[in-house]
């Protein structure tokens, strides 16, 4: 069984993961429209990963006898500025998600819901990787700038990302 407070919090996180997928898909389309197909591919895979994050939580809620409470997904922005500005938004978004995951982890600890705590450990670790990766891409973009050939090299490098 799962208590109501944890069930509600997990359902909110499921919605956030799906909003993340929506956001990254919109960002991917933005890059594609500027012919940056590598960044677009990287973000599309990121969107797929976010859907996987949502589905893992869906399975967990249902396995615990909880009720899935799906809500409307917030529409993402249509404009993201330059590629560097876009990745600033990726990093900012991941930091926000880290905050919600940490709050959820703390809540399961307070409620002595050990199964949730163990499941959420994976998300805590994943957020370290997500922030580090977004931060590295942003550092590289800031170092090479957007005017020379460096950005096209980075674009082709990120386009080689494979699905996890």
Residues that bind ligand OFO (CB under 6 A): 17, 20, 50, 53, 94, 97, 123, 126, 130
Nearest to 38 by CA among 135, 137, 144, 143: 137
CB of 24 to ligand OFO, least distance (A): 8
127 or 151: whose CB is closer to ligand OFO? 127
Q: Contact, 119 vs 96, CB < 8 A?
A: no
CA angle (23 as vertex; 17, 28 as ends), nearest 5: 125
C-alpha count within 13 angstroms, C-beta hemisphere, residue 164:
14
17 or 155: whose CB is closer to ligand OFO? 17
CA angle (126 as vertex; 123, 132 as ends), nearest 5: 145
28 or 151: whose CB is closer to ligand OFO? 28
CB of 140 to ligand OFO, least distance (A): 19
CB of 59 to ligand OFO, least distance (A): 15
């Amino acid at each position: 069984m799962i208590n109501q407070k944890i069930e509600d919090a997990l359902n909110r996180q499921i919605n956030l993961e799906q909003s993340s997928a929506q956001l990254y898909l919109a960002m991917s389309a933005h890059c594609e429209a500027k012919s940056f197909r590598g960044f677009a591919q990287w973000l599309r895979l990121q969107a797929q990963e976010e859907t996987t994050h949502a589905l893992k939580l869906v399975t967990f809620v249902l396995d615990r006898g909880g009720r899935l409470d799906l809500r409307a997904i917030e529409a993402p922005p249509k404009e993201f500025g330059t590629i560097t500005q876009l990745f600033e938004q990726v990093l900012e978004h991941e930091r926000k998600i880290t905050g919600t995951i940490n709050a959820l982890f703390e809540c399961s600890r307070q409620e002595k819901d050990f199964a949730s705590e163990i499941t959420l450990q994976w998300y805590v670790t994943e957020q370290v990787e997500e922030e580090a990766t977004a931060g590295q891409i942003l550092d590289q973009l800031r170092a090479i700038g957007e005017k020379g050939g460096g950005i096209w090299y980075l674009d082709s490098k990120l386009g080689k990302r494979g699905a996890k």
